[in-house]
Amino acid sequence: MSDIIIIGGGIAGGSLAAAVSADADVVLLEAEDVFGYHATGRSAAMYEPNYGNVVINTLTRASHSAFKEADVLSPRGVLYLADENEQHLMDAIADADFNDRVTLEEALALVPILNLANIRDAVLATAACDLDVDKLFQSRLKIARANGAQLHTKAGVNGIHFDSQWHVRTAVGEFSAPILVNAAGAWADQIAGLAGAKPLGIQPYRRSVARLPAPRGLDVSDWPMLLSAAETWYAKPDAGKWLVSSAEEDPVDPMDAWADDMVLAEGLARYQEFVTEEVTRVESNWAGLRSFAPDRTPVVGFDGVAQGFFWLAGQGGYGVQTSPALSALAADIILGRTPDFDTGIIAALSPSRSM
């Protein structure tokens, strides 16, 4: 018997395991063969303090010191671009912290393939950084193991019941604890259903990415990430290659996601309007799932009805960049400590809020 069972071995579950395992006996269960197989392993890997709503911004900025300590950030920047249809969005982007409007000529100096004939405005987010997701994630798992946590892969859950404590039946055995944490990402509502808790409407959305050769064979390592003002596509350097995403949000069932060729082609066409270099070859593609609660704010806290059932879900596209703050907050609530966040943030994350 343990103190806490965590279902879901992505960045949320792994970070929480690290945060609570110094003070509790923890079991971390992952259905796949490896930890971080789904959303964590397919993240765009960016830290952008203005990305998301006010609650997300607060959590992201609160995570910055942990990222610095883990040495997982490197300067990148995000260059927001708008055509005539998106230009109305740029004032709000330019007014955000750490953002500076740049001339189109300055934007072209940063990324020499831009098609200025179709671009009306540009804003550079100077605080945005690349985030080494794997280094961060492996460090969390290492801490959890060092603290004595039991980490199990190939541990798909096939039954849950409660009789003064939670019993979780998996492919690798049965585990029991008074506290059960639902950090199952796209499968969060399914796990809730197995546990007899009311699902909260956590919906997975697919997002596809293509890896292209570096445009014109150029060195793209110092280029900023490119993002359309309405987030209809993005592009960024990756190990000497050039990633382009269609930035779609297509609702799907929980699955091992794959890219939809037609959707990806449409996204590449949108991207193509902003650059002068024609897309002639896609080297590979993939897709990931971004799972949101109905109000697009994560769900963190004990269920209002199911005793000892804790939600850590609905992180959407912000799970990695908020993971230190969310895991610290979740650990404080679970262990009965006073969180560092104000009551407004805690209430906005609570499963009992109106979504």
CB 90 within 8 A of CB 117: no
Distance of alpha carbon 332 from alpha carbon 6, whole angstroms = 15
**pTM given for the model:** 0.95
Q: Which strands sit side by side in the sheet containing 157-162, from one edge to the other?
A: 157-162, 166-170, 173-177
Helices (H) and strands (E) in the chain, counts: 10, 21
b/e map 207-243, b = 16+ CB within 10 Å:
bbbbebebbeeeebeebbbbbbbeebbbbbbbeeebb
Helix axes 11-20, 323-335, angle to 10 degrees: 50
Q: What is the pLDDT of residue 40?
A: 86
Closest to 254 in 3D by CA, of 194, 297, 197:
194
What mean pLDDT is reported for the chain? 96
Regions of the chain where pLDDT drops below 50: none
Q: Which residue has the tokens 């404590």?
A: 165
> Where do the domains of the chain lie, and which CATH numbers do they carry?
4-43+133-202+294-349 (3.50.50.60), 78-126+203-292 (3.30.9.10)
- Report the phi/psi class of residue 321: left, alpha or beta, with left for phi > 0 and alpha for psi in -120 to 50: alpha
Query: What pLDDT sits at residue 99?
Result: 98
d(CA 148, CA 294): 36
> Given this model, what pLDDT does residue 310 score?
98
pLDDT single digits (tens) 196-227: 999 999 999 999 999 999 999 999 999 999 99
CA 292/CA 185 separation, integer angstroms:
9
Phi, then psi, of 81 in degrees rounded to 5:
-125, 145
Q: Is residue 309 a contact partner of residue 193, using CB atoms and an 8 Å limit? A: no
Spatial neighbors of 334 by CB under 8 A, at least 6 apart, are 4, 20, 24, 179, 181, 310
pLDDT of 41 = 84
Q: Which two tokens stand for residue 69?
A: 């300590």
> Alpha-carbon distance 352 to 254, whole Å?
24
Q: Which residues is 250 bridged to in the sheet?
A: 206
Two structure tokens written together for 280:
């002639």
SS3 321: coil
The 10s digit of each residue's pLDDT in 76-121 is 999 999 999 999 999 999 999 999 999 999 999 999 999 999 999 9
Decide if 32 contacts 39 (C-beta within 8 A): no
